[in-house]
Structure 1
Amino acid sequence: MEAPIFNVKSPKGMAAVLMISTFVGLFGETALNMALTNIMDDFGVSAASAAWLTTGYLLVLAVLVPLSSYLVRWFTTRQLVVAAVVFAVIGSLLGALAPNFAVLLAGRFVQALATGIILPLMFSVVMLIFPVQKRGAVMGIVGIILTAGPALGPSIAGLIVSSLSWRYIFWIMVVVYAVVIVLALSKVDNVSNVTRPKIDLLSLITSTFGFGGVVFALATLAEQSITKPIVWVPLVVGFVLLVVFGIRQTKMDEPMIDLSVFKSPMFSLGVALMVATMFMILSVAILVPMFLKTVLGFAALTAGLCMLPGNILNIIMSPIVGTNFDKVGAKIFTRIGFTLILVSMIVFLTTISATTATWIIIVNLCVFFVGVSMTIMPAQTNAMNSLAPHKFADGSAALNTLTQIAGASGTAVAITMFTIGQQNYIEKFNNALPAEFLAHGVHSAFIVVTVVAVLGLVGSFFVKNSKQVGN
């Protein structure tokens, strides 16, 4: 068996610290969705203001994740991990003890700061500390974290909110992060080359406002029309700045993100498949609970429980896919996965109505999440395997930035299409019952998700298994 690229004293312990921290961070990304109405009542804020608890979180991630390739060259792995977990504890404490909405929002920003550091770090580090023969299995667990964190957020939070209080979401995070700090101090070694390159101010500004502008616009699109200046202005400015950022990176000796990673066809395709999968995951994560609550009239806890079987199947399947990755390869897994996802989308399109049986939704979610388990880990592992080890940090930064944008756009597009679908149905049928036009809105949103599933399936037929890069 080949040796890992970096030998550390406890690779499993180090991976556990990174994975637990990332899981809790991604869980926090969606956990407050189930508690927004309670927070609105407690602090007397509007729905638009409360939504910033999620929007702001995504915004900080979009700004910080691209900086991760800089951070690993300026600070040791140990310094970054410990700093991230300390930030996470501080943010969680601010949330748990928040006397007003402003402090709660500040806590969310600090939490997102922690996740923005730890998320890309996890991807690049696990590729470095395990031998190539174990990467598939390890990345299978990474796949669970990437999908189960945000997907389980509403389910677990629904249970906490219904039995305790939304503040206990943060208290539980405090306890978990406190344990992780103790582990981090003894298990984390340095696996980065600290070169402290010169920080390019133009890259920093264009990246921050470029990615930030796009994510802000997409998040705002969920509530405002694209014709409103608050949406299209940051969207246009964001895209222009990203073009400037991209051109700037290609002309620098030490770029903030080395965009040459996209010269690898399998990396580019793997990122595209990851983006498609994350778009669909976040779309489903908002559309299905919305359907269960507004159309079928379920309580938040019941809606969350209906999502659990699919999530559990994803948790079971991801390590199985991971351990068989070397034998089967990304080519076969992604084709089967996207086929299952497309089948589930077609079922949603043909069955969603005001009278859809609950069992159809639950079974179909199971099919969807089995498909997800076969696409997300093989796509990301195949993408990273196509890169040389010294480009893992750049590849991780690029991949995670684009998947965060995909998540934000999935949420925004789903809500926008849901609203348009409702309005069209009401105009056509003046006497429609709420359950009917709400169901039609969900149906309209699933049309876009189905198109993305088709594109993903087509893309999977161009996947070639990457030769794993060793030392």
Structure 2
Amino acid sequence: MANTLNIKPSPSTDPPRRAGLALGLLLVSAFVVVLNETAMGVAIPPIMADFGVTASAAQWLTTAFMLTMAVVIPVTGLLLQRYTLRRNFFTAMGLFALGTTLAAIAPIFELLLVARIVQATGTAIMLPLLFTTVMNLVEPDKRGRSMGLVAVVTAVAPAIGPTVSGVILSGLGWRWIFLIVLPIALIAIAAGARWLRNVTPTSHARFDILSVALSALGFAGLIYGLVSIGEPRGAKGSFGIWLPLAVGVAALAALIVRQLALRHTDRMLLDVRVFAHRAFTLSTVAIVVVSMALFGSLILLPLYIQQVLGEPAHVAGLMLLPGGILSGLLAPFVGALYDKVGPRVLILPGSIVVALAMFALSTLGGETPVGLVIAMHLFLSVGTSLMVTPLMTTALGSVTPVQYPHGSAIVNTLQQVSGAAGIALFVTLFSLGATSGTGTPAASAGGVQLAFLIGALISCAAIPVAVFLRRPTQPESAESS
């Protein structure tokens, strides 16, 4: 793996092979933890039956996971600077394994919810850890291939999560979703103890309590408000929608001001000066757009397949599986192409394909053949595959090495926020379209068409952005803003 990834000389005394093992272990571990993020959706009905909870309460198993990710990921920029690779890895996988164990044995719903929060904390640390390690260890002209493998984690694992859980539920209980994952997590921890070494640099960085508080309040408020938009009126809670959104936006504005005030100190939580790099800003905008399309379609297509076509949940998962597999197969090849041709040649056609696929999905109806639905999803998967790896590589490759942890934390946080926004938008538009009819499958199909049509129009915003993207020029020698 070291030769394939072209590992840079490590700041430690470990040879390149050791760094290659570190990346391989991080890739496998991250795939497992991210797979678990979307695995609970299909398991909601049996969990409701076992614990006697309502759908709105059970949905918190997913909502709380997203909220925790949004709160913890911004803090990882500082964690990755301050602590070693081994310490961050064992913290992430230890928390994930603990949460998985608690979830598997939870006798009451409240403990299961706590377990999901613990799981999410580990997942939130693992994702930026993977990105930052790749940026530190892999040569700039070979990062596309490595980030292609990372895309298998960030794009494919969430896509096949519902399918995997659906297959497990077809023959076993919902606890087996955790019981099957737990041994893999424990093996990863054991492998880390044996092979993982500190191959990334650290620096002394101090926590700023006010920044952490503003970040938690801002991103949690934003995610909570966005997720609440798609919930039924009676499930929105006493805070409603707009109060959390307003608090979130205000806290984030204060966070930005605070970070700029701390820019000459070692107390910055997030270095917002990464947005001074044009390629980072443009790539991040496109990442937000494609994440909205990806996560929105992942939540809406299963609803369409079940409520309009009348197929069971496990069939819906299997229908989306080919797209997930295709994304996984394409990601390494797209990464290798990036190293040769740069970002624009891939991202521009990819953004066009995503927009066309969304327009095609806006024609779905009650009589659409199953094969055509699968083909449309495959078309969308091709477009997102052409975009995800080049965008991530361009964004993080355009900042200075000292900014890698901050850039990674910002990109991953915005992915969570835009994913939540995509889910909220698609579900809300679906509900509006469906309730404007008679509640029949035909009315639900109208909601699906409306959601994908608006999604298609939003997806078009990535096309002009792609025109201006260029390969980052020698980011290692760039000066911080």
Shorter-normalised TM range: over 0.9
Q: Is 1:327 aligned to residue 340 of structure 2? A: yes
Query: In the alignment, residue 461 of structure 2 is paired with which amino acid?
Result: L
Does the 8 Å CA contact 1:353/1:439 hold for their aligned counterparts? yes
Partners of 1:158 and 1:364 lie apart in 2 by 21
**1:305-384 matched pairs, under 5 angstroms:** 305-349=318-362, 351-384=363-396
Contact 1:72 1:192 in 2 (8 A): no
Distance 1:228 1:99, change over 3 A: closer
| Distance verdict in 2 for CA 1:303–1:442, change over 3 Å | same
Q: Which residue in 2 is equivalent to 1:120?
A: 128
**Is the Cα–Cα contact under 8 Å of residues 137 and 200 in structure 2 kept in the other structure?**
no
Task: Pick one of 3, 8, 12 that aligns with 1:4.
Answer: 8
Moved more, 292-301 or 70-79: 70-79
RMSD: 1.7
Q: Deviations over 1:376-426 (max 9, x none)?
A: 0001101111111111111101111111111111111111111111122x2
Counterparts of 1:468 and 1:174 in 2: how far apart (Å)?
A: 42
Pick which of 289-298 and 452-461 moved more.
452-461
Q: How far is the alpha carbon of 1:73 from its aligned partner?
A: 2.8
Structure 2 Cα separation of the partners of residues 275 and 149 of structure 1: 18
Give the CA deviation at 1:195.
3.4
> Does the aligned pair in 2 maintain the 1:11–1:130 contact within 8 Å?
no
What does residue 135 of structure 1 align with?
143
Listed as ranges, the matches of 1:231-310 within 5 Å are 231-252=241-262, 253-254=265-266, 255-310=268-323
Secondary structure at the aligned position of 1:404 is classed as helix
Secondary structure, aligned partner of 1:56: helix
State the 1:228 CA deviation. 7.6
Alpha-carbon distance in 2 for matches of 1:207, 1:420? 32
Q: Does 1:403 align with 2:415?
A: yes
Match of 1:388 among 393, 397, 400: 400
Closer/same/farther in 2, CA of residues 192 and 320 from structure 1, 3 Å limit: closer
Contact 1:422 1:438 in 2 (8 A): yes
Equivalenced residue count is: 464
- 1:182: how far off? 1.3
CA distance in 2, matches of 1:46, 1:170: 22
Amino acid at match of 1:235: L
Contact 1:275 1:406 in 2 (8 A): yes
Who is 1:109 aligned against?
117
Alignment check: 8 A CA contact 2:144 2:393 kept: yes
Distance apart, 1:285 and its partner CA: 0.3
Q: State the shift of 1:461 in Å.
A: 1.2
* TM value normalised by structure 2: 0.93
Alpha-carbon distance between aligned partners in 2 of 1:143 and 1:194, rounded to the nearest angstrom: 25
- Mapped contact 1:209–1:238 kept (Cα < 8 A): yes
**Contact 1:61/1:112 (<8 A) preserved:** yes
Gaps in structure 1 of 5+ consecutive residues:
427-431
Tell me, yes or no, if the aligned pair for 1:218 and 1:408 is still in contact at 8 Å. yes
| Stretch of structure 1 that moved more, 27-36 or 185-194 | 185-194
Q: Structure 1: how far apart are the matches of 2:433 and 2:246?
A: 26
Moved over 3 A (4+): 191-196, 224-229, 468-471
Aligned partners of 2:339, 2:290: CA distance in 1, in Å?
21
Moved more, 195-204 or 396-405: 195-204
Deviation string 1:64-108 (CA, Å, 9 cap, x unpaired) is 000001112332111110111111111001111111101111110
- Give the gaps of 5 or more residues in structure 2: none
Matches within 5 A, 1:436-455: 436-455=442-461
Matched, 1:435 2:441: yes
CA distance in 1, matches of 2:23, 2:68: 24
SS of 1:324 mapped into structure 2: helix
CA distance in 2, matches of 1:45, 1:268: 43
Aligned partners of 1:131 and 1:470 also within 8 Å: no
Name the SS of the counterpart of 2:431 in structure 1.
helix
Larger deviation, residues 390-399 vs 66-75: 66-75
Give the Cα separation in 2 of the matches to 1:3 and 1:44. 52
CA deviations 1:196-239 (Å, max 9, x no partner) are: 43321211110111111111111111115599842111110110
Pick which of 217-226 and 147-156 moved more. 217-226
Alpha-carbon distance, 1:45 to partner: 0.4
Whether the aligned pair in 2 keeps the contact of 1:5 and 1:128 (CA below 8 Å) is no
Q: Is the 8 A contact 2:356 2:456 kept in 1?
A: no
> What letter is aligned with 1:234?
P
**Whole-Å Cα distance in 2 between the matches of residues 415 and 5 of structure 1?**
48
1:143 Cα deviation (Å)?
A: 0.9
Could you tell me which amino acid in structure 1 is paired with residue 275 of structure 2? Answer: F
What one-letter code is carried by the residue in structure 2 that aligns with 1:410? G
**C-alpha contact (below 8 Å) 2:280/2:396 kept by paired residues:** yes
CA contact (8 A) 1:5 1:131 kept: no
Q: Distance in 2 between matches of 1:101 and 1:325?
A: 46
1:429 corresponding residue in structure 2 = none
Contact 2:357 2:380 in 1 (8 A): yes
Asked if structure 2 preserves the Cα contact closer than 8 Å seen for 1:224 and 1:231, the reply is no
Q: Is 1:65 matched with 2:73?
A: yes
Q: Please tell me the residue identity of whatever aligns with 2:284.
A: V
Percent sequence identity over aligned pairs: 32
Measure, in 2, the Cα distance between the counterparts of 1:181 and 1:137: 26
Contact 2:7–2:20, Cα closer than 8 Å, also in 1: no
1:263 deviates by: 0.2
Q: Tell me, what secondary structure is at the counterpart of 2:460?
A: helix
Distance 1:187 1:46 in 2: 45
C-alpha distance in structure 2 between counterparts of 1:301 and 1:339, whole Å: 31
TM-score by length of 1: 0.95
Matched residue, 1:165: 173
| Letter of the structure 2 residue corresponding to residue 143 of structure 1 | A
Change (3 A) 1:229 1:107: closer
